[in-house]
Amino acid sequence: MKELIVFEHIYKIYQMGDTEVRAADDISFKIHKGEFVAIVGQSGSGKSTCMNIIGALDVPTEGSYYLDGADVGTMDDNQLAEIRNKMLGFIFQQYNLIPKLTVIENIELPLLYAGVPKSIRRKRAKEVLNKVGLSEKAKNLPSQLSGGQQQRVSIARALVGDPSVILADEPTGALDSRTGREVLEFLQKLHSDGNTIVLITHDNSIAVKAERIIRLQDGKVVYDGPSNVPEAVVNPDIPIELQKKNTEEGGGI
């Protein structure tokens, strides 16, 4: 299988006066085309650090990151902007839609940045809007939509450029549990359509919806494997029986 994301001994170290914070402390993993991976861990474990490096929004202090075979560490700002635009689709907790643009214009935006002609932009945006089931909302403003609908628009925006990787950072964090479940089901559908998805979450009950879990603690990988085994949801600070119970009930830890 094709290796899309390769982390080789990635470190991100912040020097805070006399102390250093190791936000990423020798992280290595490979994510293959078509995988659905959750990066999970408690607050401060290094999830956003990894997300920002994968998303070419930040660079590691040490180590190598390859995206679809290309060494991201050697790229200049223009090349970074280009891979962000062409290879990565971002979904954020707070949707990050532009309030003054209509739904369809928001979805077209990544294609505008990529220099795609208007007629193709509109056609492609309509296709993905249809895919998320919101065709009738094309001319609405984001503020006229519910939270779940806004997140679906942001998913459409992430999909519009046909990215190699979809990066979702706490995509259900602002939604109620039912709407959050719908968004997760949609991500699972995108995965079954062949998309590669990296989901960042602090919530075990969400992480288990992916097929593979990479668990971080203090900037290190403490578990990397299938999501459907008890070890995948082990949190060393909470008794395992309680954790299993919480996960079965759909509650977060």
Q: Which residues bind ligand ATP (CB under 6 A)?
A: 14, 16, 21, 23, 41, 43-49, 202
User: Of Mg ion, ligand ATP, none, which one does residue 44 interact with (CB within 5 to 8 Å by kind)?
Assistant: ligand ATP
Complex with ligand ATP: residue 21 or 174, whichever CB lies closer = 21
Complex with ligand ATP: residue 51 or 160, whichever CB lies closer = 51
Most distant CA atoms of the chain, gap in Å: 57
**Size of the chain in residues:** 253
Q: Which residue is nearest to Mg ion (CB)?
A: 48
149 sits near Mg ion (criterion: CB under 5 A): no
Least distance in angstroms from the C-beta of 128 to ligand ATP = 28
Least distance in angstroms from the C-beta of 64 to Mg ion = 23
Cα-based distances in Å from 13 to 77, 166, 218: 21, 26, 12
227 sits near Mg ion (criterion: CB under 5 A): no
E strand segments, the chain: 3-16, 19-32, 36-40, 62-67, 70-71, 88-92, 165-169, 196-201, 212-217, 220-226
Whether the Cβ atoms of residue 124 and residue 160 lie closer than 8 Å to each other: yes
Q: Give the strands of the sheet with 3-16, arranged side by side.
A: 19-32, 3-16, 62-67, 70-71
Least distance in angstroms from the C-beta of 49 to Mg ion = 8
Complex with ligand ATP: residue 46 or 55, whichever CB lies closer = 46
Least distance in angstroms from the C-beta of 57 to ligand ATP = 12
Nearest-angstrom CA–CA distance, 88 and 123: 20
205 sits near Mg ion (criterion: CB under 5 A): no
196 sits near Mg ion (criterion: CB under 5 A): no
Least distance in angstroms from the C-beta of 12 to ligand ATP = 7
Nearest-angstrom CA–CA distance, 43 and 233: 15
Least distance in angstroms from the C-beta of 111 to ligand ATP = 29
N-term to C-term CA, the chain: 33
x/- map, 30-69, Mg ion, by CB under 5 A: -----------------xx---------------------
Cα-based distances in Å from 88 to 40, 44, 165: 20, 24, 5
Cα 167-173-176 angle, rounded to 5 deg? 130
Least distance in angstroms from the C-beta of 47 to Mg ion = 5
The DSSP letter of residue 139 is T
Complex with ligand ATP: residue 40 or 111, whichever CB lies closer = 40
User: Of Mg ion, ligand ATP, none, which one does residue 49 interact with (CB within 5 to 8 Å by kind)?
Assistant: ligand ATP
Residues that bind Mg ion (CB under 5 A): 47-48
